[in-house]
Amino acid sequence: MAVNPALASTAAVQGALTLRQIFATVDAESCPSSYNFHMHTVCSDGQLEPEALVEQAISIGLVEYAITDHHSVKGYRRAKAWLEDWQWRHPSPMKGKASRQSAIPRLWSGVEITATLLETEVHILGYAFNIDHPAIKPYLQGHSRLDSDRTAQRVVHAIQQANGLAVLAHPARYRRPAEELIQAVAQMGIDGAEAYYAYDNPSIWRPSPDKTETVEYLAQSHGLLRTCGTDTHGKSLLRRI
């Protein structure tokens, strides 16, 4: 069935506004049991099948989450199809009873895109964008761009053109200081920074205290949203690897 581009665009705009409000509530306790906006599947460099990821998200009791495979939304498409089938097989009970669907976590479109910022390779996360928008499609081909479209400015602009939100992933993980990188992307009009991240990959996931405090302060100083995610590449959504 053909998708009406105007309706898709309107839905994406409304979705981004909703997700912006959700990001405004994120704190150090949000991840990994309530929110998780950074996870990978076998459709890029993760170990989880998209369908298994959704099953795990439901079992954990996540409220909001996003699959952010590198340069691909194939995992998101598969997860969304599986979730729609699951909802069909688990219809809402009769009115007056608690609805199973009320407990289903909401899946957002997501992607992680490699970009160049201040002569440094960084990753930009995109959320709640229209996956069929022509501006974002060049970045969803399974590999990073090697031309001028690789610049952080163009990546951020493409995500926002597709009515999505752009976020700098793990700002304290690059060769350049987080202070320099966050200031640079803030000047480009990026929407947020991933503030809550486990840089030291602990056995029990928790944001790295020192780096979290720095990124929180920088994001707030530049008026940016703060997000969280496990950056899962392994079999458990409660860990990174």
165-191 pLDDT, tens per residue? Answer: 999 999 999 999 999 999 999 999 999
Of residues 84 and 221, which shows the higher confidence score? 221
Sign for the pseudo-dihedral over CA of 169, 237, 145, 156: negative
Mean pLDDT of the chain: 92
In this predicted structure, the answer to whether residue 210 has a pLDDT above a threshold of 90 is: yes
Mean of pLDDT values over 220-236: 98
Q: What local confidence, expressed as pLDDT, does residue 151 receive? A: 97
C-alpha 142: how far from its chain's center? Answer: 17
Mean pLDDT computed over 204-233? 97
26: exposed, middle or buried (C-beta count within 10 Å: 0-12, 13-18, 19+)?
buried
Work out the pLDDT band at 13, boundaries 50, 70, 90.
confident
The residue among 54 and 3 whose pLDDT is bigger is: 54
Which pLDDT band, with edges at 50, 70 and 90, does 98 fall under? very low
The whole-number pLDDT of residue 1 equals 47
pLDDT of residue 183: 98
Contact 44, 71 (CB under 8 A): yes
pLDDT band at 8 (very low <50, low <70, confident <90, very high): low
Percent of the chain with pLDDT over 70: 91
Mean pLDDT across the stretch 214-234?
A: 98
| Band of pLDDT at residue 96, cut at 50, 70 and 90 | very low
> 10 pLDDT exceeds 80?
no
Q: Which domains does the chain have, with CATH numbers?
A: 5-91+99-228 (3.20.20.140)
Tell me the DSSP string of 198-233. Answer: -TT--SS----HHHHHHHHHHHHHTT-EEEE---B-
* DSSP classification of residue 27: -
